[in-house]
Amino acid sequence: MTVDLPLIWAGLLAFAVFAYVVMDGFDLGIGILFPTLAPGDERDKAMNSVAPVWDGNETWLVLGGGGMMAAFPLAYSIILPALYAPIIAMLLGLIFRGVAFEFRSRNPRHRAFWELAFTGGSLVAALAQGITLGALLQGVTVAGRAYGGGWWEWLSPFSLLTGVSLVIGYALLGSTWLVMKSEGAMQAHARRMAGRLGAGTVACIVLVSAATPFLKHRYAERWFAMPNVLFTAQIPLLVALGAVLFFLSLRKGYERWPFLLALGLFGLSFAGLGVSIFPDIVPGAVSIQEAAAPAASLSFMLAGAAIIIPIILAYTSYAYWVFRGKVGEEGYH
């Protein structure tokens, strides 16, 4: 049996992207929700609840980018020029919200500005990531081995829809994270927000799912043709089940389940994306196999990754465990 290195790397990369989406998702979500929190104590607590982990969360984005460059250089060299504007916007957004963690507590007179930067940066980054996803799904023009489209190709009603959807989805993750980490009035507020954002997220999932089959004939085939449909139909069914459980858990006053079920909804949406895109990496243009780096590179990296990624997961879990429980007063110096 031969080892399908490109397929393994596609799996690893998908894992890195998913890890990024859910982990940075909730801390970007907190940035998006920030203006709805009471200035002072509530905002401090929200910030402190993610301060020890946001940096590690964002590292998954570097792994996603670096991993794609290393394992699928062709895809990297097509996708990034194609999505030039949203990628640059995302990077700039991440700069503002990243420095805001430290800068916010440096000078009381500048606080309002850096809180605005925190929210604005988070919002722009989330929107740009969603647009990137939508633009990829609707397809990018490839000429030869390079991007061959125009500069506004990424912009469409569909990509804007996915952009807004991701903003709402991240805000959902952020609000359920706060339900888990906060108490009292702040928790009640987070719970109310989670209810609304949960409804918004489910609506977005429905809209994006309904629009996707119309983008490319191939997507419709993958979802609706027999016998695929027997498998693919499970995904919307599970989304419906997950949504019901989510609202129940919220109403019953559970603290952890809303977050976990929101993660579940993200997981199912991600699986749905996989169904649409696989076995391509640039949908409709370049397959995983075509884009892959030579075996010499993939096998060398895999040997390292197989050892290091479990270690990373172990100490990341440890870091989360150290800061488990409700967020307290300790935080920014």
Partner 1 sequence: MHLDAVLLARLQFAFTIAWHIIFPAFTIGLASYLAVLEGLWLATGRAAFDVLYRFWVKIFALSFGMGVVSGVVMSYEFGTNWSVFAAKASPAIGPMLGFEVLTAFFLEASFLGVMLFGRQKVGKALHFLATCIVALGTLSSAFWIISANSWMQHPVAFMMDERGRFIVTDWAKAIFSPTMPLRFVHMVLAAYLSTALVVGAASAFMLLKRPGQAESRIALRMAIGMALVVAPLQLLVGDAAGKQVAEVQPAKLAAIEAFWDTKGHQAFNVIAWPDRGVQANRFALAVPELGSWITHGRADAVVTGLKDVGVRNQPPVAVVFWAFRIMVGLGVLMILEGVAGAVLWLTGRLDRTKLFLAFATLMGPAGFMAVIAGWTTAEVGRQPYVVYGWLRTADAVAPVGPAQVSVSLLAFLVVYAVVFCVGALYILRMMAEGPAPLAKPPPPDRAPGSPMAAAPTEDLP
Examine residue 315 and tell whether it contacts partner 1 (CB under 8 A).
yes
Prior bond of 52 cis (ω within 30°): no
The residue (of 151 and 231) whose beta carbon lies closer to partner 1 is: 151
DSSP string covering 208-234: HHHHHHHH-HHHHHHHHSTTHHHHHTH
Radius of gyration of the chain (CA): 20
In the complex, the smallest distance separating the C-beta of residue 214 from partner 1, rounded to whole angstroms, is 29
Examine residue 103 and tell whether it contacts partner 1 (CB under 8 A).
yes
Distance CA 114, CA 116 (A): 5
146-175 positions binding partner 1, by CB under 8 A? 146-148, 151
Among 4, 35, 38, 55, indicate the residue that binds partner 1 (CB under 8 A): 55
C-alpha 169 chain-centroid distance: 9
Among 145, 217, 251, 326, indicate the residue that binds partner 1 (CB under 8 A): 145
Asked if residue 205 lies in contact with residue 168, where contact means CB atoms within 8 angstroms, the answer is no
Distance CA 158, CA 210 (A): 11
Distance CA 24, CA 56 (A): 9
Examine residue 112 and tell whether it contacts partner 1 (CB under 8 A).
no
Examine residue 106 and tell whether it contacts partner 1 (CB under 8 A).
yes
56-85 positions binding partner 1, by CB under 8 A? 56, 58-59, 61-63, 65-67, 69-71, 73-74, 76-81, 84-85
The residue (of 29 and 121) whose beta carbon lies closer to partner 1 is: 121
The one segment of 35-43, 45-53, 264-272, 273-281 that binds partner 1 by CB under 8 A: 45-53
176-215 positions binding partner 1, by CB under 8 A? none
- Extract the tokens encoding 291: 């884009």
Asked if residue 291 lies in contact with residue 9, where contact means CB atoms within 8 angstroms, the answer is no
The residue (of 214 and 315) whose beta carbon lies closer to partner 1 is: 315
Examine residue 304 and tell whether it contacts partner 1 (CB under 8 A).
yes
- Extract the tokens encoding 326: 């409700």
CA 148 to each of CA 3, 81, 152, 217, 289: distance values in angstroms, whole numbers, following the listed order: 33, 9, 12, 22, 21
Report the candidate in 205, 273, 289, 291 with the shortest Cα–Cα distance to residue 242. 205
DSSP state for residue 40 in the 8-state scheme: T
- Site pattern 269..298 for partner 1 (x: CB under 8 A): ------------------------xx-xx-
- Extract the tokens encoding 183: 């108490």
Examine residue 5 and tell whether it contacts partner 1 (CB under 8 A).
no
Asked if residue 134 lies in contact with residue 160, where contact means CB atoms within 8 angstroms, the answer is yes
The residue (of 106 and 217) whose beta carbon lies closer to partner 1 is: 106
CB-count burial class (<10 Å; 0-12, 13-18, 19+) for 29: buried
Among 7, 99, 116, 160, indicate the residue that binds partner 1 (CB under 8 A): 99
Asked if residue 9 lies in contact with residue 302, where contact means CB atoms within 8 angstroms, the answer is yes
The residue (of 23 and 167) whose beta carbon lies closer to partner 1 is: 23
In the complex, the smallest distance separating the C-beta of residue 86 from partner 1, rounded to whole angstroms, is 10
Examine residue 27 and tell whether it contacts partner 1 (CB under 8 A).
no
In the complex, the smallest distance separating the C-beta of residue 311 from partner 1, rounded to whole angstroms, is 9
Binding site for partner 1 (CB under 8 A): 48, 51-53, 55-56, 58-59, 61-63, 65-67, 69-71, 73-74, 76-81, 84-85, 87-88, 91-92, 94-96, 98-99, 101-103, 106-107, 110, 145-148, 151, 293-294, 296-297, 300-301, 304-305, 308-309, 312, 315-316, 318-319, 322-323, 330-331, 333
